[in-house]
Amino acid sequence: MTKVSDVDTASVASTAVPDARTNVVQLVSADISTIAGVSLYGSRAEITRIAKIDLEAGQNRITITGLPSAMLEETLRVEGKGSATIHDVTASRTPAPQTQNQTQTHKSPTSAQLQSLRKERKGTESELYRVSKHLEALERFASTLNAKDNSIDQVSEVMARYEIEAAALHERTYYLEQRLLELDDSVHEEKTRLRAEVVTDTVSSELEKQVTVAIFAPGKGPVELVLVYAVSHASWRATYETRVVTANATRDGGTPVDLTYKALINQSTGEDWTDVPIVLETASPTFGLSIPQLVPHTLSVHRPRSRSRESGRYDYPHRRYARSRSRSRSPRRHHYAVDEERFYDDPPAPQMVAREAVVTSAGNVTASFSIPGRSNVPSDGEDHQVTIAKLKLEARLQWVAVPSMSLQTHLKAYIENTSEYTFLPGKTSVYLDRSFISKSPVPPVSPRESFECSLGVDPSIRITYHPRTKKAAKSGLYTKTQTHSYSQRITVFNTRTQPVENVAVLAQVPVSQDAAITVKVSNPALPPPAPDQNQGGASGSVPGAVRVSGAVSAAWEDSKEGRFKWIAKLAPQEKLMLELEWEVSALATTIIDGL
């Protein structure tokens, strides 16, 4: 079969009016087409739908209804195979059908059930009227009885029958009145249901778009049309599952990590994706972006404001004129003008960019993830989970403690993405030694990049923060200098049966904000760090570190804020004593805030 000439935009207006020789056909999308594939982005989806249609020789005007209302019409593309030529393509909203209730608006909605209820209610009202008349007649008859014309036995017999008849009539009256109330409720419910049906008929559905294709066929026969269009209300986001077993640490300090890469797919387009191949895209579509423009950066001489003696107010005689003349070239105002111009001149951004940040990966790296097999994702607005890949990665564990703030030891992993997959931002469920710990955020990660993952608190590394000791002394013959000496001890205890390779204990010393105050750290003897020194790391080899003991080193983490850390390796059941000593010196007459 030869390829049908295609039209890749729906913006072409169809002006041709079909004549008597044009074959006009209206078809429902679900009846003549199937979804062949879905490319899912972070805030939209691209649908490929294949329709098989029989054409007549000559002009054919095919209208396919039942397409999703979430279709972005400007993205529509139509092509196909067969001996035919596509003249134009239009996408529009399907006209709402005229129902009997809509064409005859003067008539109230009705049904057989409503008519039956009304008939029964009318009969009940008639019976209640007759019963009331019967009861009135009985009352009048009872009032005419007198002792002159009737004996006591006759009166007693008549009154006994009166009691029976009156009781029966009163009971019947009560039943009919209750029945009328029930019928009124039933009539109200049926009217409410009928009004709801009328509203449902008039409310736009989720499948109210249609595509009209004008095709010329040299002869009668079948063709295959391919409709490609984007829809909003469809998205996917990344989620992860990270499993770490600390007992599996290797000799070089690495730890294997099992990471399951998953996707949560959500769509409410009106179309069920049944048995379709799905491709997850990490590309970030952008629309309406313009290149930023530089604005003039002007300088002027500062003129202090003068105060008027008469009014008591400040006047700006020169600056008022300068401000009015340069208002259009003010950088801030000009920046806003650029934004407004771009906002009103460019076409409005489609809905697909509403969640653009979700699919942006670090380094502008994009990838496509093809979900194995075929998937079923109904249009229910719920999250449906699929697995992208199960990966085995390498990580380096680090135990971090800040004893001055908390005695808990936190465990984190530096995981390297050694796979070919791009990780999108999301959350991971962390399982440490087969136990669920917490949820940790995952940043955008490209292949060969590393990221940090929190593994919660490890109670097996115990910290003891001993009381701080303080001494004060004065020195100098003529000029007295006062020195405050501090000492702090920290005990780290590894209760594990395995060694711990990388334990970081963070501490802090005061920082002087005045040249008259001197702070000196004597233990550990930290050298002044270089300005470009690389601070910290996961491997334990810190540039500029000083050796404290055989398996302990220390290094500045941020010398400007007085933060440093010890990096230690602990054997099983080993206790480590860390000592911190520093001095604060100033003239004896100096009052130091913060001690």
Q: Going by C-beta distance under 8 Å and a sequence separation of 6 or more, which residues neighbour residue 180?
A: 121, 124, 125, 128
- Burial (CB < 10 A; 0-12, 13-18, 19+), residue 124, is middle
**Distance of CA 411 to CAs 218, 445, 455, Å?**
73, 21, 5
Instruction: Report d(CA 392, CA 499) in Å as an integer.
Output: 23
Q: Give residue 231's pLDDT.
A: 93
Residue 286 confidence (pLDDT): 57
Q: What are the tens digits of pLDDT across the range 315-329?
A: 444 444 344 444 434
> CA distances (Å), 335 to each of 104, 218, 322, in order?
57, 58, 19
Residue 50's pLDDT is 94
pLDDT at 277: 92
Rounded CA separation 230/68 (Å): 10
> And the tokens for 242?
């990270």
What integer pLDDT is reported at residue 20 of this predicted model?
61
Task: Give the integer Cα–Cα distance in Å for 285 and 262.
Answer: 22
What's residue 323's pLDDT?
40
pLDDT number for residue 18: 54
Query: Going by DSSP bridges, is the β-strand pair 368-370/278-281 parallel, antiparallel, or unpaired?
Result: antiparallel
Whole-angstrom distance, CA of residue 369 vs CA of residue 389: 9
pLDDT at 345: 42
SS3 253: coil
User: Among candidates 561, 288, 280, which has minimal Cα distance to 421?
Assistant: 280
Point out the residues of the chain with pLDDT beneath 50. 1-3, 5-17, 100-106, 200-204, 310-311, 314-365, 532-542
pLDDT at 165: 87
The residue type found at 559 is: S
Say which residue the tokens 């986001």 belong to.
237
C-alpha–C-alpha distance, residues 547 and 381, integer Å:
58
User: What per-residue confidence (pLDDT) applies to 342?
Assistant: 35
User: How far apart, in whole angstroms, are the C-alpha atoms of residue 315 and residue 305?
Assistant: 6
